[in-house]
Structure 1
Amino acid sequence: MVDIILEVTGSLFAAIIFFTTLQGLRHHSVREQSGTNLVIAGFGLLFFGMLIDITDNFPELNYLVFIGDTEAQAFLEKVVGMLLGLLLLTLGFWRWIPSIKALESTRKSLDQLNAQLDQRVQQRTQELEIANRQLNDEISERCKMEEQLQYRVTHDPLTDLPNRYAMNEILEQQVSYCHSQNVSSAVMLLDLDDFKKINDHLGHEVGDRVLHQATNRLREAIPDGGSLGRFGGDEFIVTLPEIKNPEDVKLIADLLLKQFRLPFVLLERDFLITVSIGIATYPRNGVNPQELVRHADSALHRAKIDGRNIYRLFTDDMNKVLARRLALEEQMHGALERDEFSVNYQPVIDLNRQCVASAEALLRWNNPILGAVAPDEFIPVAERTGLIVPIGQFVLKTALQKTIAWRERSHGSFHIAVNISPLQFRDHKLASFLTRILEQTGLPGSSLELELTEGVLMDSSEVADDTLRVLHKLSIGLSMDDFGTGYSSLSYLRRYPFKTLKIDRSFISEIASNQGDRELVSATISMAHRMGLKVVAEGVETEEQLAFLRLERCDLIQGYYYSKPVVADDFDRYLDCWSEPLVASEKAIV
């Protein structure tokens, strides 16, 4: 029984192997092996021999196989079949050995390749991790740089305050909030008074220190919720997002002014620097940021006019001033090309020689829309817009061309005086322009006198110093205009080569009745003579004024007593009146 089980098991095993081999033949790589057919045949014979052995124990199954008639034949068939099967299997396996070796070699190669691939994958993974970390670092650094760039875009690098761009956004948010909550707010514009003098005389480094100190002082006075920003230059802006009581705005403005009552310590010296403030409130003075800032600027301008170191709230009257200023700026552009400007001339009388010694060229503007505009109104606009430079060149050119004939009539003693603004004096082209126009007219430099105010000299720079050297080389005269109205006029007289000093009309107007003005004028004339300067008294209108000035030995007289400013043709006729010795009243042009 055990033999039967073993034989059956062996036959099943052979059948399974035979079947598996047949299944393997379905694969192209197995069919191509040289020993495959021998292995199949060997398994077939083994299976056949085992089947014969099984049928020996079960005669009823003899019909399944062909068996010899005798046991010897059957045994021989079984033995031959099995031996032949084993032989075929051996030959087949032997033929498979090179393929198996090749497969083993291939497997080892694949293992090596897999190991190399794993190593490269690990290496690449490490590289990618490093690259990823570097990329994350770069992204973080880029984000930081973008944040820094955004901060720089929205903040002033000197004071670290929000700049104009950032403050406009803050104002947008403030207006939106006030509109939704139905509350009031305020905008303040602050400007340091005479800050330019600090920059020009002490240098920009000291000016930067002033801005730092001013920033710290303003921060201390800003209430919670308020914002402080720098609008540019020496101008700051304060926003107050919620104002419950209108008087609170005034209290805060007073507090801001108070911050500047203590002097600034610069270069171991004390400097008193004040601030002017313009205020506009929402919604009374404007409902959008642009309107609020514009009106606050108008109020600031009013504070400057009213004496500085004060605050001003925007009023409707300032709207008219603003509209007028905008109209002046609009009409002034192109006015020179439209021949709207002209030059008038006011004679200057030499009291000693009793003749017309010179004339002052005075600019006039007659616009078809605005009418005749006063110089005090349009000249500041021309300076602010920069148009004063070409307009000033027009005055110089026109006046010098007229001076040619007037010098011939006076046998070369006549000269023309022309006012020069600070912006003109800082123009690096002024010296070359004067050189060229004198060459074109053929006039000597002594025929021209430039009237400079203290403001011109306070704005002095390297360009201005170069211009002064050229003026001196050309023999162009310098006159100190409006003497006595500034703070440092005496020091400028000592430092620069002035030939003439002009006493301001504000001191002349009351010398007949004001003892203090008489003493000041008398002292000024005496001092100027000691310095070798000629003195011109401006604004002389009465006989009493003239008598006092003659008594004090004033050299030159200018004013309505002799003549108002007139056009060139009338000035020609005025010179004709002086060809014969007539009294002043007969020579006056009314």
Structure 2
Amino acid sequence: MSQTANKMSNALCIALWVVDTDRASIAWSNCHAKTLLRQNSSAANFDREFFFDDDFLATLRLMTVAYDIGEQVTFDWPTPLGKDDIIECVSTIISLGGERRGLSVQALFSNSSPLDAEIGLIKQLGSLSVAMLDYDGGFLEVSDVFASRFGTVSSMSDLFVTNSNTCAFMSKLSLGQPFTQEIRLSTLNSVHWHQLEVVFHPEGKVLLMANDIQQERGRENEIFRLHHFDVLTGLPNRYHLYQTLENILESGNKRFEHWGILYLDLDNFKIVNDTFDHRVGDELIQQVALRIQSVIPNNAELYRLGGDEFVILLTNILGVESLQEVANLITRNALNTYFIANMEMMVTASIGIACYPEHGDNVDHLLKNADAAMYRAKSIGHNTSFVFDVDMIDTIRAHLTLGGGLRKAIEEEEFELFYQPKVRLSDEVTVGAEALIRWFHPELGLISPDQFIPMAEESGMILPLGEWVIRTACKQIKTWQDQGIPPISVSVNLSGRQFMQTDLVEMVAQVLEETGVDSQYLELELTESMLMADAQQTIEKLHAFRKLGVTLSIDDFGTGYSSLAYLKKFPIQTLKIDRSFVNDLGISGGDDAIVKATIAMAKSLNLKVIAEGVENRSQIDVLNGFQCQEVQGYLFAKPMSNKDFVHYMKTQKMVNVSDVLSSVTSTI
């Protein structure tokens, strides 16, 4: 240690003690603290029986509440020492276990020169990295800690990373006023952030404390990064987006700039997360982010809001056409597959477009309107975009209203199942029915499934709603049988998310047992895309249903991408030809060929075929010629309430289910 540093050490006495404010006691103290404070107490046991003035104790307790653990507070301790009236102290708020707090107090006292006292004042701030300078920035003496950190230095210019930093520091030094500065300094190991505190003394000396704050800066940077950026993708997050939009909006109001956003939501991403490990979903999100970043222009920035939602901000654009061009780039690129976990996956996005100032005059309105446009794009079809329109405001209100009322609607029985007959084509005997869910809202009236089913999927309410449909259909079967109506089966179309329920088979078995319905009267319908999401897992679940005795069918056959090899492995009994192929039967040779080939294939696999959407006799003639077994459509009957369906069954030709099993199909 240098001669000056030795003088510092010998001249200064560091008194340390811990105050327990709850117990109004000094919990611990070193010998210097006892020397410093003992004269204020005649107690034999100094640490436990030290006397506190009530007002001063109240002040100390207030400090422990007002400051956080680890914060430092400078205050005066009202204990006489010789001719002095107070002791200047620095305390740190500490934890004494549980919720108890206290103060770790430090004081320096000296009979040395005023210059040594100044050094002590700096050291009491919690740092031992101290140096003495002249007014020109030259080093006179340094402490051991300072030397171990910075090595041999002769002037402040040896510490600073750049000449400009040196000039700035010397400029402040020339003013002769104490100051504090945070700056990067060159240490022996690397460049670190430091907090410099400078104190001047009348004897022409400058005392410098250099406190290393690299770790604190690192923590601040990490907190900033976590607050502003998405952990999974590294993209700026929702908070960062709002800050950016607010700043751009302010500048846009001044310069009348055009800018806009694309609101992206991945199509059917929940199926990926529900079908595969979440790590697969995370990797897919990462690859989607990288691909989008690779195609968007330089004036665009990608943000991740969370989950499978992204926003692209474009500035300095000519108009909404610029936004549409970027949206088209993304949708075209989405058709390329992703290679993840030894699988090829394709995921598309629905994109909502909103432009400032046409579609919103503030951040919230613009994002809400872009979000609404995204949902409109999703309703039109996947991998497409839609530009916000003012006429969509009513749709937004309805979306919010309906989305919040689904659970209440289930609890208050606002839903009802309607039924549409299914007819055997050979003799036009009614052999079953299709069940369609309806929502009779107390204020909005009849709400189409096209409106509330997507909301149920998004919110997760599709699971309780789907269970309600299965339970209600089974109860209805039992009621019809009790009324003496020949038994027919009822089928329920499962949603993708519902089919991925791990306990779906158990739930269906429980409903059948509770309602007392034979499993042969319940049929479950699934879409092609649902079956092919994870073919092996699907096969296992389907066999579990068949073991239970439930009938299975593929709905809307021909609109998906079933593999014939897998179709042979699926324990399916029925194929339903989608109405889009039935509409132009007898008119379109292409549709005729598709329907004929489907029926022939189903016959070879020993599957029954039902044609949906039959509305005229010419379609019946064609289907009869192709030997289709069953049909349904407006030609025979529209969907009807339970009361009307019971009347229909009593007045129409019926057949017992033991002769021909058919099903009732729900729209969920």
TM-score by length of 1: 0.68
Compare the two structures and name the one with the higher strand fraction: 2
- In structure 1, the residue corresponding to 2:408 is in which secondary structure? coil
2:528–2:562 contact (8 Å) kept in structure 1: yes
Distance 1:275 1:230 in 2: 14
In the TM superposition, 1:278-357 aligns within 5 A as 278-352=352-426, 355-357=429-431
Report the AA paired with residue 312 of structure 1.
F
Specify the alignment match of 1:219 in structure 2. Answer: 293
Q: Summarize deviations over 1:237-275 as a string: whole Å, max 9, x none.
A: 111233355544344444555655766566788766554
Matching residue within 172, 175, 178 for 2:249: 175
Distance 1:369 1:409, change over 3 A: closer
Specify the alignment match of 1:388 in structure 2. Answer: 462
Report the AA paired with residue 216 of structure 1.
L
Deviation at 1:363, TM superposition (A): 0.9
- Unpaired runs of 5+ residues, structure 2, are 1-119, 130-143, 150-193, 195-209, 656-668
Distance 1:456 1:412, change over 3 A: farther
Distance 1:259 1:410, change over 3 A: same
Matching residue within 488, 504, 512 for 1:430: 504
Distance 1:448 1:263 in 2: 38
Report the AA paired with residue 280 of structure 1.
A
Deviation at 1:169, TM superposition (A): 1.9
Distance 1:291 1:440, change over 3 A: same
Give the count of matched residue pairs. Answer: 461
Distance 1:458 1:157, change over 3 A: farther
Q: Summarize deviations over 1:17-41 as a string: whole Å, max 9, x none.
A: xxxxxxxxxxxxxxxxxxxxxxxxx
Judge which range, 325-334 or 134-143, deviates more. Answer: 134-143
Report the AA paired with residue 554 of structure 1.
C
Deviation at 1:186, TM superposition (A): 1.0
**CA root-mean-square deviation:** 3.7
In the TM superposition, 1:119-268 aligns within 5 A as 139-193=213-267, 208-257=282-331, 260=334, 264=338
Distance 1:193 1:430, change over 3 A: closer
Compare the two structures and name the one with the higher helix fraction: 1
Matching residue within 498, 515, 528 for 2:602: 528
Distance 1:146 1:178 in 2: 31
Distance 1:555 1:164, change over 3 A: same
Distance 1:215 1:317, change over 3 A: same
Matching residue within 472, 482, 489 for 1:398: 472
Residue 561, structure 1, aligned to residue 635, structure 2: yes
2:522–2:551 contact (8 Å) kept in structure 1: yes
Distance 2:499 2:431 in 1: 25
Residue 493, structure 1, aligned to residue 567, structure 2: yes
Matching residue within 613, 616, 621 for 1:542: 616
Q: Percent identity?
A: 37
Distance 2:213 2:363 in 1: 36
- In structure 1, the residue corresponding to 2:378 is in which secondary structure? helix
Distance 1:528 1:466, change over 3 A: closer
- In structure 2, the residue corresponding to 1:243 is in which secondary structure? coil
Distance 2:491 2:367 in 1: 41
1:483–1:504 contact (8 Å) kept in structure 2: yes
2:324–2:353 contact (8 Å) kept in structure 1: no
- Unpaired runs of 5+ residues, structure 1, are 1-120, 582-590
Q: Summarize deviations over 1:173-215 as a string: whole Å, max 9, x none.
A: 2222222333232112234455567667786656555544443
Q: Summarize deviations over 1:474-513 as a string: whole Å, max 9, x none.
A: 1111110011111226455234211111111111122132
- In structure 1, the residue corresponding to 2:451 is in which secondary structure? helix
Q: Summarize deviations over 1:273-299 as a string: whole Å, max 9, x none.
A: 554432211222112222211111222
TM-score by length of 2: 0.61
Distance 2:601 2:332 in 1: 40
| Greater Cα radius of gyration, structure 1 or 2 | 1
Matching residue within 570, 575, 581 for 1:507: 581
Distance 1:203 1:171 in 2: 35
Distance 1:400 1:353 in 2: 28
Matching residue within 476, 479, 482 for 2:550: 476
Distance 1:348 1:154 in 2: 57
In the TM superposition, 1:355-366 aligns within 5 A as 355-366=429-440
- In structure 2, the residue corresponding to 1:336 is in which secondary structure? helix
1:535–1:554 contact (8 Å) kept in structure 2: yes
Distance 2:338 2:509 in 1: 43
Judge which range, 431-440 or 311-320, deviates more. Answer: 311-320
- In structure 2, the residue corresponding to 1:335 is in which secondary structure? helix
1:200–1:460 contact (8 Å) kept in structure 2: no
1:362–1:418 contact (8 Å) kept in structure 2: no
1:229–1:236 contact (8 Å) kept in structure 2: yes
- In structure 2, the residue corresponding to 1:546 is in which secondary structure? helix
Specify the alignment match of 1:573 in structure 2. Answer: 647
- In structure 2, the residue corresponding to 1:561 is in which secondary structure? coil
Q: Summarize deviations over 1:142-161 as a string: whole Å, max 9, x none.
A: 43134224313322223211
1:186–1:240 contact (8 Å) kept in structure 2: yes
Distance 1:319 1:578 in 2: 46
Report the AA paired with residue 416 of structure 1.
V
1:162–1:229 contact (8 Å) kept in structure 2: yes
Residue 376, structure 1, aligned to residue 455, structure 2: no
- In structure 1, the residue corresponding to 2:410 is in which secondary structure? coil
Judge which range, 482-491 or 158-167, deviates more. Answer: 482-491
2:260–2:320 contact (8 Å) kept in structure 1: no
Distance 1:258 1:137, change over 3 A: farther
Distance 1:412 1:469, change over 3 A: farther
- In structure 1, the residue corresponding to 2:402 is in which secondary structure? helix
Deviation at 1:452, TM superposition (A): 1.0
Q: Summarize deviations over 1:211-242 as a string: whole Å, max 9, x none.
A: 44443343344444542212233432111233
Residue 439, structure 1, aligned to residue 513, structure 2: yes
Specify the alignment match of 1:516 in structure 2. Answer: 590
Distance 1:175 1:380 in 2: 33
Report the AA paired with residue 248 of structure 2.
Q
